[in-house]
Amino acid sequence: MNDGSVPLPRTFADLLRAGRLVMTAEVAPPVSCDAQDLLRKATPLRGLADAVNVTDGAGARAHMSALAAATILAGAGIEPILQITCRDKNRIALQSELMGAAALGIRNILVLTGDDPKAGDQPDTKPVFDVDSKTLLETARRLRDEGKLPTGREVAGKASFFLGAADMPIDPPAGWQPTGLRAKAAAGAQFTQTQFCLDATVVRRYAGVLADAGVTQQLAILIGVNPLRSAKSAQWMKSHLFGTIIPDALITRMEKASDPAQEGIRICVELIEEFATIPGIAGAHIMAPGNDAAIPEVIAAVRSRVQKAAI
């Protein structure tokens, strides 16, 4: 029991460093100019999610700016993870955005490549991709650690960034090495949030290879999960979302369920509980596009069950 002499970990980074089971969530900012529309989506996560991602043009569609959304969440007592993609801005604009985020007190940055504009609702959009995600990570790390831009130009003030990258779990074949993730760690990544993987057996093997390669000692790994709504949606995700891993047995279980949505929540809770037993896995990143209301229920259930197990 803490006697008050040692401060309890509070930030997302603190929780990861302390080895706590961490659960993050994702909110797509609305297609809106009204901050209240964002807060209606995100407020149910306050006090439950350890941090909340705000997406940056997810699906190659326009919505409220991610930096504005992250700032609004921080003001409402919700710790944000700001996603920044390389798709829409050149290096000058990206460097400016990093400085702006630091000035606004945004600490957590997840660097992504970004979805191809052809996948969105404005397919004639011209992508930028002036730099890749590894280069942008290196830029953010240098801004934080050296107070400099890539040109060597000094930057005033302090950027207290906690940097993240994305990854895609696989069932590793013999001889496979996580070269991409290792390169992102070398560039400055401190945590990673992954694509959907609803197979704990695959996660266990994936984490084992990462541990053998020394990656889990460098990066906190959060596995992407989804509270499935139906067998049909699970099959669609498996077929259309590149890199998504959903076992056929889970789809069958959803087909047989009398209440598929509740069964999907139960599956999600069970997976996160199992992730908590896998060495090198720090927790879960819960994404539920179009099903935001399920996320608080998942997190609350996991917290309740983990606390009971600890008694």
Q: Does the pLDDT of residue 1 top 50, yes or no?
A: no
Using alpha carbons only, how large is the chain's radius of gyration in Å?
19
Q: What is the mean pLDDT of the chain?
A: 95
Find the mean pLDDT for residues 3-12: 62
* pLDDT at residue 307, as a whole number: 59
Domains in the chain with CATH codes: 1-167 (3.20.20.220), 194-208+223-311 (no CATH)
Residue in this structure with the two tokens 């197990």, named with its chain if needed: 309
Phi-psi region of 82 (alpha: psi -120 to 50; beta: other; left: phi over 0): beta
Please state, in angstroms and rounded to a whole number, the distance separating the CA atoms of residues 258 and 260: 6
* pLDDT at residue 2, as a whole number: 42
User: What is the DSSP secondary-structure string of 100-153?
Assistant: HHHHTT--EEEEE----GGGSS-TTPPP---S-HHHHHHHHHHHHHHSB-TTS-
* Six token digits for residue 238: 């498996």
* pLDDT at residue 309, as a whole number: 59
* pLDDT at residue 308, as a whole number: 58
Q: For the segment 179-233, what is each residue's pLDDT rounded down to a tens digit?
A: 999 999 999 999 999 999 999 999 999 999 999 999 999 999 999 999 999 999 9
Q: Does the pLDDT of residue 106 top 60, yes or no?
A: yes
Helix locations, 188-241, DSSP H: 200-212, 231-240
Q: In sequence order, what E strands does 197-274 have?
A: 220-225
In terms of Cα–Cα distance, which of 197, 167, 164 is closest to 272?
A: 197
* pLDDT at residue 87, as a whole number: 96
Please state, in angstroms and rounded to a whole number, the distance separating the CA atoms of residues 55 and 202: 27
Q: For the segment 149-169, what is each residue's pLDDT rounded down to a tens digit?
A: 999 999 999 999 999 999 999
Is 209 within 8 Å of 172 (Cβ atoms)? yes
pLDDT band at 67 (very low <50, low <70, confident <90, very high): very high
* CA-to-CA separations, 41 to 24, 37, 52, in angstroms, rounded: 15, 7, 11
> What is residue 12's three-state secondary structure?
helix
Q: Does the pLDDT of residue 142 top 50, yes or no?
A: yes
Of 50-59, 121-130, 287-296, 302-311, the one with minimum mean pLDDT is: 302-311
